[in-house]
Chain A
Amino acid sequence: MDITLQAFMAQLTIGLIGGCFYAMLSMGLAIIFGLLNIINFTHGAQFMMAAFLAWIGLTQIGPWLGYPDFQINFWVALVIAPLIVGAFGMVIERALLRRLYHLDHLYGLLLTFGVALVMEGGFRYVFGVSGQGYEPPEILQGPVDLGFMLLPKYRIFVVVASLLICLGTWYLFERTKLGAYLRAGTENPRLLQAFGINVPVMITLTYGFGVALAGIAGVLAAPIMQVTPLMGGNLLNIVFAVVVIGGLGSILGSMMTGLALGLIEGLTKVVYPEASTVVVFVIMALALLVRPAGLFGREV
């Protein structure tokens, strides 16, 4: 097979960017799972919602308000959209999820699933299924010459930004006092409460934080992927496979697995493009055969 270095590197970069999104999303899932013991099926819908909020802010809100020139730019959206999505998540946690903690995990899963259906169906009803374009901010437009290939500036920004977010989250959880509380809550919430920590509030905030991570990923994804109501659900299926491979036990583990699988997916696109959509699932099946407890296995 004859592959140019350029094509190879291009696919690898696309894989790396995909891996960044897998990493951010699976990290959010791991954080939520650690404290709430539920798999957040709404994660994809929340990712989609943030991308839509960014798109609405850039292209729709001005005409809606009657000032066609008014727009919320990318940088503001990158802050506001995750906050809105996170707050929305906290409302769901307070109003609905909280009632299910004493029950089987299955119910939390089904509830978040129902919320995802409502959100995706609602966005589809209002905005249709066709993809909406989102212009990256001017400063990040255009390519950078890396010598062996041209790479859009925005893609470099996404890789750097998501790596920073991942490392920041890791630092927050593993190296700060707040993180120590959170890890203690994962280990034994009742004991932590006995020490005077308000665990219910901590759980709400943790859910909000995990969801906001999905929100940041969503805004970052808006200029790369088409903004459609389906963008989150499709991605989430792959992220679930990533989570099965890496396990939900460790934040660093889920981040590494996400990046690695993105790269593998990119490589598959070079070697055997037809398989690239399923390669993550196949790797998951293989991993289950070889190491049933997950690569960073701590069976939950």
Chain B
Amino acid sequence: MSTTFKISLALFAALLAVPFVPGLIYPVFVMKVLCYGLFACAFNLLLGFTGLVSFAHAAFLGSAGYVTGALMIRFGAHPLGMPAAFAAGIAASALVGLAIGGLAIRRRGIYFAMITLALSQIVYFLAVQFRWTGGEDGLQGIPRGSLFGLDLTSDTTMYYVTLGLFAAGFLFIDRVVHSPFGQILQAVRDNEARATSLGYDTDRFKLIAFVLSAAVAGYAGSLKALVFQLVSLNDVSLHTSTEVVLMTLLGGVGTIFGPLVGAALVVGLQNYLATIGDLVTVVIGLIFIVCVSFFRRGFVGEFLHLRRRRADRTIRRRPLRPDPETTPAAEPA
């Protein structure tokens, strides 16, 4: 059993127990963390494993949420309404991802980030203009419907469904990262010219990664729309796009569990700091600055780095050359 698998199992078991200890931790809070955690994992697939920065991920989260929400309001009573609306939401976000990604991969680096940001603004404006998205009000009172006869109205039922859907999404990302396809993505990230010289059509791989990431972000968005029965303009705003960057950065870019840790921290922080209003932006900005300046590996990344260093030290009890990384500098005489 790999360590990742062990940690996943332990985490899953702990999450299963959450509704039994409502005094300790709110299931609704955990559902929020799970939705944002999956969202951050989707983002990390792009940033951490493909090396692309997107400022458009709110557009995917939001468009899926709007489509799922609007369909549920109309067809939520139908027995197959929830799975169909859910799938439609994912399809919508994948299509938006195809459009935005298809344009953005025409440019590299900083331009890529700016293009995603600009295009996500179109999605925002559309969400304001369309009638079916509810404009400034968003969609409220979205029915949760039922999943194969299982009524989702109660928070506890919804919690277990959310947990199951989250686990499926998380495993999917893990599979993608560790598949041969995922290895090619990492090769593109590390050295695009080299990947091209090996015969890979890097633009195609980047686009597929972008659409996958958008689809999983949409999956999280559809789930979130059902859990909170609410989709608002905030879901498609630049604000949400930056939050997901922060979650990923804080937890650890390019790690499997990092985005989950980051999402838990940021969501927890927002709950905790809800009383200070506008200062939340300042705090989030400061965390950004500190993370980028001093803490680029994030929590999980830093932990893995320390463990690797310790392992290295055990193997090389008596290093032939002093390793500048691990050996403290000699005291000046």
Contact = CB atoms under 8 A, between A and B. Distances in A.
Contacts of B287: 114
Identify which of B118, B283, B284 gathers the most chain A CB atoms within 10 Å of its CB. Answer: B118
A274 B293 CA distance: 42
A300 B117 CA distance: 19
A292 to B, nearest CB: 4
A285 B292 contact: no
B285 interface: yes
A173 interface: no
B125 interface: yes
A244 B292 contact: no
Interface stretch (B20-28, B260-268, B274-282): B274-282
B115 A288 contact: yes
Contact of A244 (B118, B121, B238): B118
A299 B277 CA distance: 42
Contacts of A243: 114
Nearest to B283: A121
Interface stretch (B70-78, B102-110, B160-168, B215-223): B102-110
Contacts of B242: 113, 117
B152 interface: no
Contacts of A156: none
Nearest to B109: A105
Interface string B110-127: 110111011101100100
A281 B285 contact: no
Interface string A104-142: 011101110111111111101100000000000000000
Contacts of B238: 233, 237
Interface in A70-103: 96, 99-100, 103
A109 B110 contact: yes
Interface residues of B, number: 39
B53 interface: yes
A140 to B, nearest CB: 33
A38 B114 CA distance: 12
Given A110-B292, A288-B107, A117 B282 contact: yes
Interface residues of A, number: 47
Given A106-B53, A274-B129, A292 B285 contact: no
Interface string A169-192: 000000000000000000000000
Contacts of B289: 96, 111, 114-115, 118
A270 to B, nearest CB: 19
Interface in A240-282: 240-241, 243-244, 274, 277-278, 280-282
A167 B103 CA distance: 33
Contacts of B109: 105, 300
Contacts of A213: none
A125 B279 contact: yes
B122 A39 contact: no
A294 B53 CA distance: 20
Interface string B53-71: 1000000000000000000
Contacts of A277: 125
B278 A109 contact: no
B53 A278 contact: no
B281 A237 contact: no
Contacts of A111: 288-289, 292-293
Interface string A280-293: 11101100110011
Nearest to A242: B118
B147 interface: no
Nearest to A108: B292
A110 B117 contact: no
A114 B292 contact: yes
A293 B107 CA distance: 7
Given A125-B278, A244-B114, A300-B109, A117 B121 contact: no
Contacts of A300: 109-111
Contact of B117 (A33, A100, A240): A240
B295 to A, nearest CB: 11
Contacts of A96: 289, 293
B286 interface: yes
B292 A278 contact: no
Contact of B249 (A110, A115, A125): A110
A110 B286 CA distance: 11
Contacts of B103: 285, 288-289
Contact of B292 (A107, A118, A292): A107
A287 to B, nearest CB: 10
B245 interface: yes
Contacts of A119: 285
B203 to A, nearest CB: 11
Contact of A281 (B119, B245, B282, B284): B119
Contact of A278 (B125, B277, B278, B286): B125
A109 B53 contact: yes
A241 B118 contact: yes
A294 B277 CA distance: 41
Contact of A110 (B118, B121, B245, B280): B245
Top 9 nearest A-B pairs (CB, nearest first) are A114-B288, A121-B281, A117-B285, A118-B285, A121-B282, A292-B106, A241-B118, A114-B289, A240-B114
16 contacts: A39-B113, A96-B289, A109-B113, A110-B291, A111-B288, A115-B285, A117-B285, A119-B285, A121-B278, A124-B281, A237-B117, A238-B118, A274-B129, A280-B118, A284-B115, A300-B110
Given A278-B121, A292-B106, 6 more contacts: A103-B296, A109-B110, A110-B292, A113-B288, A243-B114, A285-B103
